Amino acid sequence: MKTVAMLLAGGAGTRLSVLSETRAKPAVPFAGKFRIIDFTLSNCVNSGIYTVGVLTQYRPHSLNDHIGIGKPWDLDRGRGGVRLLPPYQGREGQSWYGGTADAIYQNLDFLQNQSADLVLVLSGDHIYKMDYTEMIRHHQEKGADLTIAVMSVPLEETDRFGIMEVNDEGRIVQFHEKPKNRDKGTLASLGIYVFNLGIMEERLSEGTPDSPRTDFGHHVIPAMLAAGDVVHAWRYDGYWVDVGTIDAFWSTNLELLQPNPKLDLHDHRWPIYTQSEERPAVKIGPQAKIVSSMVSNGCIIRGLVQNSVLSPGVYVSPGAVVRDSVLMNDIWVGPGARLDKVVIDKHVVVGAGATVGNGEGNTPNEAHPHILASGISLIGRNTYVPENAVVGRNALINSGRDEVNFPADGVVGDGQTV
């Protein structure tokens, strides 16, 4: 039976704030040289799945440039391979994808043309390694119409997931999408589905203008259960993280620096592939010191880098200190500058003597308290932080800011936004 993977990669990722301002969430850099989507794409090819549709929508240009024809993942193939599937205006009035299920519905012709028997629906914005062949085998053995990958989550997080109840055989009997009451159990959907194409076509086409089936969790799965379709849970006990918040993004990056990280990027049995430009080797100056950090190709280090993740092309000047931070491509950290618990997007200049992440303040960001409240400060791309500026905790410096946008004294207090 032929399996075709469909990666949902059109999400805006609003909880990542300025990191997803000009790019889709799956295109956000992660772990130095990678992008978030690299993990799902690599899972596909490592699982022997070489026909992949990537459904794009929000700010797709960075994602399109990164994936290209799919060569780094061995997906540049005449038959199968990777296909970018943006929304388009069709004869029947299709337009923007209305949800996860609607995105698949608008591309049923792609699945049919690929002679798919099974459809593996994936999200392109999670960090994990998974052998999908085990889930597909379980799906076939159970004679399921739909199989959902699940794992147990903490009770306090159940309102972020689809939560289900299963019988002794693992068949799903109740499904609750992001329940507000925490009494539905802790078995959560990971947004990874295996469908039989025939039943998928049938259930998606049953939607009406008054009652469209645009979302898997809200509409399609409940409809399948109501119709008596065989819907099974497949338990996954490996590493899986949604890096959709600044806190999760920062902490997941820094977890890679542990002596035995849960996510091993050096496992030759399950490599993570990416599209990366050629850069020279890392250059370490005589005054440099690097402690428990990940430093990518093209970086020049002349100061102290401690417990941090640096993407390609970062320059750390003499006397500068970078600690507990995540720095993306081509950032220049000036002499004597200090960065502490900071996430910085591409092409940022931190002026000489500037301090970002100052003090012990815990005031949440005044404009975005739900995004920045744990002490992390965030700087958008193409920004210049003035010399000797002092930026506090939970501060947000938006993209494209320059010296004229900062206060005259250069001080940005805890929780403030520029």
Do 88 and 128 fall within a single domain? yes
Contacts of 211 (CB under 8 A, 6+ apart): none
Residue 92: what pLDDT? Answer: 55
Could you give the C-alpha distances from 91 to 97, 104, 106, 114, 307, in angstroms and in order?
15, 17, 12, 21, 54
In a domain, 264, yes or no: no
Q: Do 125 and 248 belong to one domain?
A: yes
Per-residue model confidence (pLDDT) at position 203: 96
Residues 208-235, mean pLDDT to the nearest whole number: 93
Strand boundaries in 247-376, DSSP class E: 283-284, 289-291, 294-295, 300-301, 304-306, 309-310, 315-316, 321-323, 326-327, 332-333, 338-340, 342-344, 349-350, 355-358
What is the CATH number for 334?
2.160.10.10
Q: 89 pLDDT band (50/70/90 cuts)?
A: low
Q: Are residues 156 and 213 in the same domain?
A: yes
Among 214, 240, 255, residue at a domain's last position: 255
| Span 27-72, pLDDT tens digits | 999 999 999 999 999 999 999 999 999 999 888 999 999 999 999 9
Phi-psi region of 415 (alpha: psi -120 to 50; beta: other; left: phi over 0): left
Residues 6 or more apart whose CB falls under 8 angstroms from that of 168 comprise none
Give the whole-angstrom CA distance, residue 375 versus residue 369.
11
Please check whether residue 355 lies inside any domain of the structure: yes
Q: Kindly state whether residue 395 falls inside one of the protein's structural domains.
A: yes
**Are 13 and 146 within one domain?**
yes
pLDDT at 77 over 70: yes
pTM: 0.94
Q: Tell me whether residue 418 is in a domain.
A: no
Q: What is the rounded distance in angstroms from the CA atom of residue 276 to the CA atom of residue 388?
A: 34
Same domain membership, residue 66 and residue 143: yes
In this structure, the answer to whether residues 49 and 183 fall within a common structural domain is yes
Which amino acid belongs to residue 254? L
pLDDT level of residue 289 (50, 70, 90 thresholds): very high
Residue 265 domain-assigned?
no
Report whether pLDDT(194) > 60: yes
356 belongs to a structural domain: yes
Please report how many Cα atoms fall inside a 13 Å half-sphere around the Cα of residue 105, on the Cβ side.
25
Range from 83-97, 323-337, 340-354 carrying the lowest mean pLDDT: 83-97
Torsion of CA 93, 94, 95, 99, to 10 degrees: 140
302 and 398 together in one domain: yes
Report residue 366's pLDDT band, with 50, 70 and 90 as the boundaries. Answer: very high
Same structural domain, 234 and 148: yes
| The domain boundary residue, chosen from 217, 239, 255 | 255
pLDDT at 78: 87
Domain that holds residue 313: 283-412
- Enter the tokens of residue 219: 């509409």
Inter-residue contact 12 to 126 (CB < 8 Å): no
CATH code for the domain in which residue 91 is found: 3.90.550.10
Q: Of 255, 271, 300, which residue is a domain's last?
A: 255
Return d(Cα 378, Cα 83) in angstroms, integer. 34
Judge if 173 and 41 occupy the same domain: yes
Q: What is the mean pLDDT of residues 180-193?
A: 92
For residues 47 and 111, state if they share a domain.
Answer: yes
Residue 175 DSSP one-character state: E
The number of domains in the chain is 2
The answer as to whether 322 is a domain residue is: yes
Confidence class for position 183, pLDDT limits 50, 70, 90: confident
Beta bridge partners of 54: 7, 84
How confident is the model at residue 253, as a pLDDT? 98
Residue range 222-249, pLDDT digits in tens = 999 999 999 999 999 999 999 999 999 9
Nearest alpha-carbon partner for 8 in 76, 96, 120, 100:
100
Q: pLDDT band for 12, please (50, 70, 90 cuts).
A: confident
277 in any annotated domain:
no
What is the average pLDDT value for the chain, to the nearest integer? 95
Q: Please write the tens of the pLDDT for every residue from 294-326.
A: 999 999 999 999 999 999 999 999 999 999 999
Mean pLDDT of 104-120: 96
Q: Say whether pLDDT at 96 is over 90.
A: no
The whole-number average pLDDT for the span 212-217 is 90
For residues 327 and 235, membership in a common domain is answered with no
348 and 226, same structural domain?
A: no
pLDDT digits 0-9 by tens, 125-180: 999 999 999 999 999 999 999 999 999 999 999 999 999 999 999 999 999 999 98
Residue 91 has pLDDT above 50, yes or no: no
Mean pLDDT of all residues in 172-191? 92
The pLDDT score that the predictor gives to residue 184 is 86
Strands (E), 86-186: 118-123, 126-128, 146-152, 162-166, 172-177
